[in-house]
Each structure stands twice: as C-alpha cells, then as structure tokens.
Chains A and B, each alone.
Chain A
Amino acid sequence: MIRSSKTWQVAAMASVAGLVLSACGTTDTDGGGDASGEDCNFKIGVMGALSGANASIVLPSVDGAELALNQWENDECEVTLEKFDTEGDPAKATPVATQIAGDDTFIGVIGGAFSGETRATKSIYNDAGVTMVSQSATATDLTQEDPVEVFHRLVPYDDYQGAAIANYLTDEVGASKVFVVDNSEAYGEPLADRVEETLGDAMVQRDKTEVGQTDFAPTISKMESAEPDAIFYGGYIAEAAPLLKQIRDAGIEAPFVGGDGLYGADFGNAVGAAGEGAVVMCPCAPIEEDSTFAADYEEEFGSAPGAYAAEGYDAMSVFLAALDDGARTREDVEAFVDDYTGEGLSKEIAFDENGDVPQENVSYWAYKNEGGTLVPEVEVTP
C-alpha cells in the first residue's frame, strides 16, 4: 500500500500520460469504415442473441454462417463475418443496426435472429439499403403486413407454421381435442394463435403461461378436466421442461408437440426422461445424407449442427454468391439477392416480392425426441 497521496498523484499522472502517448501511436478511429469497393473487401454482420437465455437457438446459425465463409473459395474477395450480440433485445439491437448501416463495408446482415429485434431494426437497414437475410425470424407481420425492401428470410412465417403444426396434430397424431398452451411472449403467442385458428373445433382449450414460470399446476388441472388427446406448447425450452414433467407426473399421456422454439441441441438434456417421445416441429429439413455439412460442422465446432445451423449456412452462402457474381455495392447485393435462386442446404432458396421463401420450397418437419436427441419423424405441409 502506498501511503502518501503525493506518490499516488505522481503515479496517476504518469499513467495518464502513458495512456495518452500510447494512444497517439494508433490511428483509425473510423470503425475501419473505409469503403474499398474495388478491392472487394467486405464485411457481413450477424446480429442476434449471442448471450443470454436464448442464445442456444441463435449460436448454431452463427456457426453455420462461419462454416460457409470458411468453405468459400474466392481469390478476389476478402470477407469477414462480424458478430453482434443483441441479447435478443430490440433496444440493444438498434445501435448495432445503426453502426452496421453507417459502415459502408457491410454489404449484408444475417438476421435478426428474433422477430422483435428485426421489427426494431428493419427500417434502419432499409434506409441504408443493407440487405437482410434472416435465418429464424418468423413473425408474420415482418413480410406480410409491414414489408420492407431489404428484408428476406429463409424460414416460413407463423401463419404457415401454425397451419402445418395444426395439420400434424390432426392428421399425423389424429387428435381431435388439442390443448394449446403458449408462453404469452412475442414468439409463442402468435404461433399458438395460428395453431388455434387452423385447428378450429379440434382445439379443446387454450391456456397462457409466463416466461420464467416453473409451477404449471393450474394448467395441469385445466388439462385434467379437458382430457386432451394432444398438447401443443408454443414457447421455449426453459419452460417446456418443467411443464412436460408436470404433465407426465399428473398421469396425462397425451402426445406433446412444440414449435421451433424447442428445437435445439439442449432440448433432450433439459426435458430428461419426461420428454421421451415429445415432438418438436421445425421448418428445418434434416440435412441430407450425402451432404458433408454435419461432419464439417462437427469438425469445426465440436458439436452436431443445432437449430438453424443450415439456415445460417444458407444465408451466408447467398451473400457469398452475390460477391461471386460480381456484386460490389449494397445495391448490387440487394438486386442479386432479390432474384436469387439456388439449391440451399435447408431448402430450394428463392425469395418472393415480400422476401419470403415461396411456400412450395419450404419443408416442415416433425422431430421426435428419442433418448435425448431429436430424430426426424415426418415431413408435414400446411
């Protein structure tokens, strides 16, 4: 411990001076934002919840994008993938979007991963002409009610998903009394609404729960009196796990079906024994046998490809194809992506005028939880 305050003053002065001097040495304060169109030196941003409770639904797609970039072969161009953590929070996403929009070397954005942050940022990107290709934002209004020029997505929207899930419930499961539960959040509620609409009379009761809830006793007792022959839950893994456990503990054996919010490598681990046989519906086709994607992914990141890994890969591939095609400006990229057609990992990629993949290209799959892993069960259409 230095006792004298004089000594401290000197030390403080010296360190401040040191900082100033060392600071003078470096330059570039412009976010590295020198546009260098001719050199083909570009950045692609990816924004989403890279930390926080829902990161496990986003991180695999980021890894997928990185894999696509690593496998890309192009001598002319230098592309870097810049990752932006928004924690899935729209308020944190807007400064990120403004930053990307203001830096001309960004020619595209993969994301937003969630619908809320996409809603908050799409007008920023639109103003700046930055093309967005989302790997997982499914809210209907993003393209149907309030479309913007630059927004594209590789997943079908809630209306489609809800209808597909409802068809699975009635046709594959053969249910006529479905109990629909949602998590009251921007993801679960609209999805459950669409399921409810399509089910019509085949829905016996609807209940709403909360994010962070663990005790579902009121929901369980409603189920007991409704005696459903299938249960649909629109929400995330953290709540699905205790819900499933309590359903099974109460002796309700009806099949449990969840939306793509449950799709993730940690689903099996979280639900444990109670989740055996639970079904997760996802607009993500199983990766074809002859593709090396799964193996490559595992080699690169040490785990099997998780939720939307293939979509992340595809999104990056679309941008890289644009550069291969000679696109060098944001306008070029936007024009290229709008007209893009090609065989992707997840599906046959094309975008309609709203930025959605045409419905005939979408494949929607049911995955069954068997011994802790999600195994593709059957393809469904709305």
Chain B
Amino acid sequence: MDFDALISGLDRHTLDGITRGSIYALVALGYTMVYGVMKLINFAHSEVFMVGTWAVLGVYTVLGVGAGESLGIVIAATLLALVGAMVASAGTALAVERIAYRPLRKKGAPPLIFLITGIGCSMVLVELFGQVFEVFFGPPFGRVTVNIPSVLETKELFTIPGIDLTITNTRVIIIVGAVLMMLALDTFVNKSRLGRGVRAVAQDPDTASLMGVNQNRVIMLVFVLGGAMAGVAALLYTIQYDITKFDIGFIIGLKAFTAAVLGGIGNLRGALVGGLLLGIAEVYASTIWSSEWANVTAFVVLVVVLMFRPTGLLGESLGKARA
C-alpha cells in the first residue's frame, strides 16, 4: 500500500490513466454502437481491433519503413497505416456481421446465440493469425510476439512548468487522436442524415423501418464505424506499445467492453467517460498496490458503479442522445 506514491505523482498517474483509457474508449465505441442499435454484445470486436494492429504492421512492411525516417515519411507512413488499419478493421467487422450475425438476425434468434457465434468468430480470427496464416505464409504470423517498428518515435515535446510533467509526442497523439475521433463520431451520429438513421433504428427498429430507414444498411454502417474506430485504436496502440500478437485483442476487448458498460452501453460519450475512468482507476490501483490488482480494481469499480447506477454512468441512450 503506497498512497504516498499516488499522491506525490497524481498528475503523472492521471495522465498515464488517460492515455491507457483513451485506447479503451476507442475500442469501447465499437461495442457501444453495435449494442445501441442491435442490443447485442459483439464478442468478436476485440479481434476486429487485433486485425487492425496487423494491418499497421502490414503497411509498414510494404512501405519498408523503420525507425529514424524523416518527418515527411513518418507522417505519410503513419497516415497510410491509419487508413490501412481502419479499412482492415472495418472490413473485418463487416465480415463478422455478414457471416455470424445476419443469418441469425433473419431467423430472429435470441441474443444468447449471437454471443456464441461472436465467441466463435473471435476464436476463428485469433486462430487465423496464430495458426492458419502461419502455415500458409510463415512468419511473422504465428503465436509469437511480433515487433512493429517505431516509425513514429517517442520524443519529449515539452514539460509543463510548475508540476514538472513531461509530455511526449505519442501521448499527445493518442489522447488528441482519441478525443478527435470521438467528437467526429458523435457529430456524425447526431448531425448527419445517416446518423439520424442510426439513432432512429436504435430507438425503435420497427418504426424506423416504417419510416423508410433501411435497417440492414444502418447495421452495416454501425459495424463499419465501430470497426474503423477499433482501427484507429489499433494504430494508437502500436504507436505506444510497438507490438502485436495473435491474442492481444482479448484483454483490450474485455476492458473496452467493461468501459462501455461503465459509461452506459449504447452511449457514445459514455464510452469516453467509461474508458477514461477505467484507465485512471487501473493506473491508480497499480500505483498503490501493483499491476496484479489492476484487473480486480477494474471489475470492482464496475460492480460498484452498476449498483448505484444500473445503466452505467451516463445511461444508455444512443437513440435518446439529443433525440
């Protein structure tokens, strides 16, 4: 128990927590959007994120970039990787919807069945990268940890005077990137025509259909958007941690899902709040005790919050958001 360490470096730990939580929040968006529209936990979403990290590696490999490139190349490569990851993740999400969920939707299967096909899809995707691709293409696929070159190297940008807090470029990119994406998505859902369709289906699918909203198209859109956000998260993740592996999606997905529920599943801003809160709680707990208690803390926070606010901090309301 080391509360002194927490108090003395509170600013630093909070920043660490926000960094960690930003990635949770971006992945949580995918869970939240799908849930908001379909009332369904997309268990394969963690693997949608995982595919994104591989796409980043793929783009870097194709471009042949590594550490220490000039600024122009770094920016270009990173943007290309961003596009690659977003496309790959969105594509994966769409494929999951097509293969595992749409046939069930047609049959009107109960939600539990979607859960099992989601888990099945998740296993298939994990095994594709951990086993199948290795057999067909060899390394870097397989069950080992793979390094992703730090094209975008970590550099200190500035130090906040007074509290002596060093800000690095990667931190700025992660936090700003996450918040920007969140704002963009929020605006899209609330302001655009398509977004109105999403909200309409989330509120009342039958009425939305009667009003001429194509439900299938809205669902596809939701998967694509959620997938793209997971792609962004994948890029930010690789910038920060430099690795990928066939099974990295699982833990991030678990946390992101927890974050989504914490904030109020179905609520976009809730995903942000939940992600950040979860990240901060974990870092605080890791500082006071050690990281071995971080996951327990995360789940305890979840249970406590749900006991007092049974629909999460901000409540569930993709449909109701500024309706």
Partner-B contacts on A (CB < 8 A)? 51-53, 55-56, 184, 207-210, 212-219, 221-222, 225, 237-238, 241-242, 245-246, 249, 251, 266, 269-274
Once A218-B13, A218-B283, A219-B291 are accepted as A-B contacts, the answer to whether A51 and B143 lie under 8 Å apart by CB is yes
Among the listed B149, B237, B243, B286, which residue makes an inter-chain contact with A219, where contact means beta carbons less than 8 Å apart?
B286
B294 interface residue, CB < 8 Å from A? yes
Q: Which residues of B contact A (CB under 8 A)?
A: 5, 9, 12-13, 16, 19-20, 67, 131, 139-140, 143-150, 154, 156, 168, 170, 237, 240-243, 245, 247-248, 250-251, 283, 286-287, 290-292, 294-295
Interchain nearest-CB distance for A129 vs B (Å): 35
Query: Could you list some 25 contacts between A and B, CB below 8 A?
Result: A52-B143, A53-B143, A56-B144, A207-B291, A210-B292, A210-B295, A213-B291, A213-B294, A214-B237, A214-B241, A214-B243, A216-B291, A217-B283, A218-B13, A218-B286, A219-B291, A221-B12, A238-B243, A238-B245, A242-B243, A245-B241, A245-B242, A272-B147, A272-B149, A274-B242
Assuming the contacts A53-B247, A212-B250, A270-B144, asked whether A241 and B242 have C-beta atoms less than 8 A apart, the reply is: yes
Complexed CA–CA distance, A42 and B151 (Å): 54
Say whether, besides A217-B16, A249-B168, A238 and B149 are in contact (CB < 8 Å). Answer: no
* Closest 10 pairs (CB-CB, A-B): A218-B286, A272-B147, A217-B16, A270-B145, A208-B290, A249-B154, A208-B292, A266-B144, A184-B292, A242-B241
Name the residue on B nearest A251 (C-beta). Answer: B156
> How far does the Cβ of A350 sit from chain B's closest Cβ, in whole Å?
35
A214 vs B168: C-alpha distance when bound (angstroms):
18
Q: How far is the CA of A228 from the CA of B247 in the complex (A)?
A: 32
Whether A208 contacts B291 in the complex (CB less than 8 A), given A266-B144, A270-B146, comes out as: yes
Give the docked Cα–Cα distance between A245 and B154 (Å): 10
Cβ B20 vs Cβ A273 within 8 A: no
State the Cβ distance, B293 to closest chain A Cβ, in Å: 9
Q: Chain B: which residue is nearest A189 at the CB level? A: B292
Of all chain A residues, the one with the shortest Cβ separation from B66 is A273
User: Cβ of B154: which chain A residues have Cβ within 8 Å of it?
Assistant: 249
Q: Cβ of A270 and Cβ of B9 under 8 Å apart?
A: no
Known: A210-B295, A225-B5, A273-B67. A238 touches B13 (CB 8 A): no
A266: chain B residues within 8 A (beta carbon): 144-145
With contacts A53-B247, A269-B147, A272-B149 taken as known, whether A218 is within 8 angstroms of B242 at the C-beta atoms is no
Partner of A221, one of B16, B140, B248, B251: B16
Least CB distance, A215 to chain B, in whole angstroms: 5
Instruction: Kindly state the separation between the CA atoms of A129 and B259 in the bound complex, as whole angstroms.
Output: 53
Q: Are the CB atoms of A222 and B5 closer together than 8 Å?
A: yes
CB of A272 within 8 A of CB of B242, answer: yes
Nearest-CB distance from A17 to chain B (Å)? 33
A87–B137 Cα gap in the complex (Å)?
A: 23
- CB nearest neighbor in B for A265: B144
Assess the A215–B143 pair: CB atoms within 8 A.
Answer: no
Nearest Cβ on chain B to A246's Cβ, whole angstroms: 8
**How many angstroms from the CA of A222 to the CA of B245 in the assembled complex?**
27
A270 with B291, Cβ < 8 A, contacts A217-B20, A245-B241, A245-B242 known: no
CA distance A89 to B134 in the complex (A): 23
Considering only CB atoms, which chain A residue lies closest to B251 in the complex? A212
Contact for A209 among B13, B16, B240, B290, CB less than 8 A: B290
B150 to A: closest C-beta gap in Å? 7
From known contacts A214-B243, A218-B16, A266-B144, infer whether A209 and B150 are also in contact, taking CB-CB under 8 Å.
no
User: Across the interface, which residues of A come within 8 angstroms of B241, CB to CB?
Assistant: 214-215, 242, 245-246
Cα-based distance from A245 to B294 in the complex (angstroms): 21
Distance A218 CA – B247 CA, assembled complex (angstroms): 23
**Contact check: which of A52, A56, A271 meets B147 at CB < 8 Å?**
A271
Distance of A179 Cα from B266 Cα, bound (Å): 43
Beyond contacts A208-B292, A213-B291, A269-B139: 11 other A-B pairs, Cβ-Cβ < 8 A, are: A56-B144, A209-B292, A214-B248, A215-B20, A215-B240, A218-B13, A242-B241, A242-B242, A245-B150, A270-B144, A270-B147
User: Which listed residue (A56, A218, A246) contacts B291, Cβ 8 A?
Assistant: A218
